[in-house]
Amino acid sequence: MQKAGNLFGSAGVLLISAMLVGCVSLKKQKFTGHSPDELAGFLARNRNVVEVSTRPLKISADYNLREQLSMLAPRARKWKLDVEWTIERVIKGRSAVQTMLVKGLFLDPEETRKLGLFEPRSMNTFTNGLILWVGFDDSDGNSFRHLNILKPAENQRRHI
């Protein structure tokens, strides 16, 4: 009986800790943004590089539980995007899929600015048809290992 009480007590402490600290969504895909002047390093760093056309599906604020329960309706500091990428061409390596559906792409403001894109407060961050170069080491079509994104300059697109 004593052990059962300790078990429930421990579970209660974990539950209260999670509520105080906050529960951030577990499904996040982080990326590193690169400016067009970092092209050589970008190509060298990634095993696979594909040119994709972007179609945003959903953007949502990434509140933790404490922020969600706040009566003051806080402004979101973190954002997540569900996006569909259609592969236009493979620049380096290979890709087994033609379309990639990425859920929970974590829009870090600093990384988004490196791409020269708008703030992540609106769907205008990743607009329909936006051309990006996506570099990664491994992918199952929905999640990536070492995801890197570069928004190429027009002259870079034509010469590579």
DSSP string over the chain: -HHHHHHHHHHHHHHHHHHHH----S--B--EEE-GGGHHHHHHH-SEEEEEEEEEEEEEE---HHHHT-TT-PPPS-EEEEEEEEEEEEEES--S-SEEEEEEEE--HHHHHHTTPPPTTSGGGG-TT-EEEEEESEE-SS-EES-EEE---HHHHHH-
Rounded Cα distance, 41 and 55, in Å: 27
Rounded Cα distance, 123 and 48, in Å: 27
pLDDT tens-digit readout, 48-67:
999 999 988 888 877 767 76
The predicted pLDDT at position 74 comes to 65
Average pLDDT over residues 116-136: 71
The predicted pLDDT at position 43 comes to 93
Question: Is residue 132 predicted with pLDDT exceeding 80?
Answer: yes
The predicted pLDDT at position 141 comes to 64
- Which CATH architecture does the domain made up of 27-159 adopt? Beta Barrel (2.40)
Residue 35: exposure state from Cβ atoms within 10 A (0-12, 13-18, ≥19): middle
CA proximity to 54, closest of 133, 140, 154, 127: 127
The predicted pLDDT at position 51 comes to 95
Rounded Cα distance, 36 and 153, in Å: 6
| Mean pLDDT, rounded, of the chain | 75
Residue 26 or 159, more confident: 159
Question: Is residue 4 predicted with pLDDT exceeding 60?
Answer: no
Average pLDDT over residues 118-133: 67
The predicted pLDDT at position 35 comes to 86
pLDDT tens-digit readout, 77-97:
677 888 899 999 999 998 888
Question: Is residue 5 predicted with pLDDT exceeding 60?
Answer: no
Domain extents in the chain: 27-159
